[in-house]
């Protein structure tokens, strides 16, 4: 199957990934010191949920589409997510923000975003999506190759988001190697990594490789009932999770599981 962002924008995995991103950014903003966000596979920045790719899968209906009915006292990260994705920046009401746009919306004036996208046509759209933010820049490059060269950032604080399209047969191997190389250069950074779970053995093999960095780590895996050939399970790996992140996500997942009809597992790795 194709893991390009456009087909899955706003689906169950996107919802959890973007809430985790927002929770980490909230932690970084607790200190006045600036931080950097490096997004290695930025995509186009904004996705039309009424467009051809989104309509082909219909996955957003069972993701962001199910959250409109949430009410009551929501966990802070979940409430911030709903507010953030509701901003349109002049786009149509069906626009859903990708990770770089979410990060840009939540950055302070002293913070900085570097979004990398190797497909020139996607990068042009990403530049347009981020045009309102002076300290957000787009680089046309291979995210895996470019990431270590940007580390450590001058701010010495920050988040590295790695969200590949998983088009290559050896994507897990490339991802693990790039993550190890990045961690050697920026061991104090926070790393948020998305991965599909096609087989548990392949996902566990990747996690095992990532744990060789020696970093504190946790994983969140999410599953739904889906037809054969559709994305049914995915995971997040977080290296150096900030203090309180586990509790934040447990509270979020408790509200999301009934809303999205998901099964989730949050596991602290060692």
Cα four-point dihedral sign 24, 27, 29, 34: negative
Cβ atoms of 24 and 190 closer than 8 Å: yes
59-85: per-residue pLDDT in tens? 888 899 999 888 889 999 999 999 999
pLDDT at 32: 98
Q: Is a pLDDT exceeding 70 seen at residue 270?
A: no
Q: Is a pLDDT exceeding 60 seen at residue 114?
A: yes
Torsion of the alpha carbons at 22, 5, 236 and 175, rounded to the nearest 10: -120
Q: Is 73 a catalytic residue?
A: no
Average pLDDT over residues 220-246: 91
Exposed e or buried b per residue across 64-96, where buried means at least 16 C-beta atoms within 10 angstroms of its C-beta: bbbbeeeeeebbebbebbbebbeeeeeeeeebb
120-152: per-residue pLDDT in tens? 999 999 999 999 999 999 999 999 999 999 999
Q: Is a pLDDT exceeding 50 seen at residue 269?
A: yes
30-54: per-residue pLDDT in tens? 999 999 999 999 999 999 998 877 8
The residue segments making up the domain with residue 51 are: 5-269
Active-site pick, 14, 39, 111, 163: 163
pLDDT at 90: 57
pLDDT at 1: 43
pLDDT at 20: 98
State how many domains the chain has. 1
Q: Is a pLDDT exceeding 70 seen at residue 243?
A: yes
When the pLDDT of each residue in the chain is averaged and rounded to a whole number, the result is 92
pTM for this model (two decimals)? 0.95
Q: How many CA atoms lie within 13 A of 240 on its CB side?
A: 16
Give the Cα-Cα-Cα angle 238, 241, 245 (nearest 5 degrees): 110
pLDDT at 2: 47
pLDDT at 83: 93
Q: What percent of the chain has pLDDT over 90?
A: 76
Instruction: Give CA–CA dist 114/205, Å, rounded.
Output: 29
Q: Is a pLDDT exceeding 50 seen at residue 180?
A: yes
pLDDT at 229: 73
CATH of the domain at 257: 3.40.50.150
pLDDT at 241: 97
């Amino acid at each position: 199957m194709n893991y390009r962002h456009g087909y899955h924008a706003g689906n169950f995995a996107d919802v959890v990934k973007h809430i985790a991103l927002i929770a980490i950014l909230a932690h970084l903003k607790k200190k006045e010191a600036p931080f950097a966000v490096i997004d290695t596979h930025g995509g186009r920045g904004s996705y039309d949920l009424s467009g051809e790719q989104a309509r082909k899968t219909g996955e957003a209906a069972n993701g962001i589409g199910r959250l409109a009915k949430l009410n009551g006292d929501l966990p802070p990260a979940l409430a911030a997510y709903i507010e953030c994705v509701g901003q349109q920046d002049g786009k149509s009401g069906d626009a859903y923000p990708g990770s770089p746009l979410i990060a840009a919306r939540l950055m302070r004036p002293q913070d900085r975003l570097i979004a990398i996208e190797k497909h020139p046509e996607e990068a042009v759209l990403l530049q347009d999506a981020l045009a309102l933010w002076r300290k957000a820049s787009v680089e046309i490059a291979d995210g895996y190759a470019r990431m270590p060269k940007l580390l450590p950032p001058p701010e010495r604080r920050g988040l590295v988001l790695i969200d590949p399209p998983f088009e290559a047969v050896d994507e897990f191997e490339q991802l693990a190697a790039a993550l190890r190389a990045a961690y050697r250069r920026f061991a104090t950074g926070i790393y948020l990594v998305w991965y599909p779970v096609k087989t548990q053995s392949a996902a566990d093999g990747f996690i095992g490789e990532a744990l060789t960095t020696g970093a504190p780590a946790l994983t969140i895996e999410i599953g739904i009932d889906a037809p054969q050939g559709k994305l049914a399970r995915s995971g997040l790996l977080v290296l150096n999770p900030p203090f309180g992140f586990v509790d934040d996500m447990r509270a979020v997942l408790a509200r999301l599981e009934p809303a999205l009809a998901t099964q989730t597992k949050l596991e602290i790795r060692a």
